[in-house]
Amino acid sequence: MGLWRLADWQYSSQQTLALLEQLLERGVTTFDLADIYGDYRCEQLFGDVLKLSPSLREKMEIVSKCGIKLMGSGNDYGLNHYDSGAVHVMAAAESSLRKMGVDQLDLLLIHRPDPLMDADELAGALDRLVDEGKVRAVGVSNFLPHQVELLRSRLQAPLVVNQIEVSLLHSVPMFDGQLDHCQKDHIIPMAWSPFAGGELFNGSDEAALRVQACMEGLSKELDMSPQQLALAWLLKHPSSMVPVLGSGKIERLSSGIAALEKELPREAWFRLLRAARGRDVD
């Protein structure tokens, strides 16, 4: 469950609590945040919900990210930029813990590759957070394989996740080595924007329209909604991909969860790929 839009939903803490409880009942236990989400407000909003029902903490895994500095929320940044330095990463992790009112993050990700990343310094900070028990596991987000390998070469803790953009309209990671690398080294790929920001269903460019037409036919053949088709397409990949869904509507989320029980035939998978790319395989 992705919570990057939590502030936009304008739910009360009680409404958000009800949503989380329904998701936990349906087997969704991982909740994805970042320090910058909602202009630095989402972690606090999530923490406010946990205060209403502290026992929920033991039923879930909390993911957060750091390494991006955005202008706003009273900070004095002169521009948006990256900071993977030890001072910032340690401070950001402490801030996340404080805002959410928890003792440990289950997973901390470095949000974007930083061209000024000092791998030794960053690895030292991440290992220290793990050693101190403030973070249970570490990973990255939007890193290419060579960037992952650089950081891994300095880390003592295992690097367990790379959160990357993957969808029918962004299938590049299936061909440029990103998912191969995840599969090779047993790194879990978390797929952000699995519906291409809604373009899969509402987009008007040629690729989106081709996919929509293909989904319409497959929906009737396989008794699967377009949303389920899009998720089943990702879930069929052998890298054990974990799509991150960001809707605040339990009905939409429940439909997505049902995709876990669906099996997409191989030819249907390639029909969707052909529609997305506009060409047959070579």
Farthest CA pair distance, the chain: 56
Residue 21 neighbours by CB under 8 Å, 6+ apart: 53, 56
Selected catalytic residue, list 37, 40, 77, 82 = 37
Alpha helices in the chain (DSSP H): 6-9, 13-25, 37-40, 42-52, 86-100, 119-131, 145-152, 178-185, 199-202, 206-222, 226-235, 250-257, 266-277
Closest by Cα among 27, 33, 34, 16 to 59: 27
Contact 38, 45 (CB under 8 A): yes
Secondary structure class of 248 (helix, strand, coil): coil
Our answer to whether residue 37 is catalytic in this structure is yes
Contact 20, 56 (CB under 8 A): yes
Catalytic residue set: 37
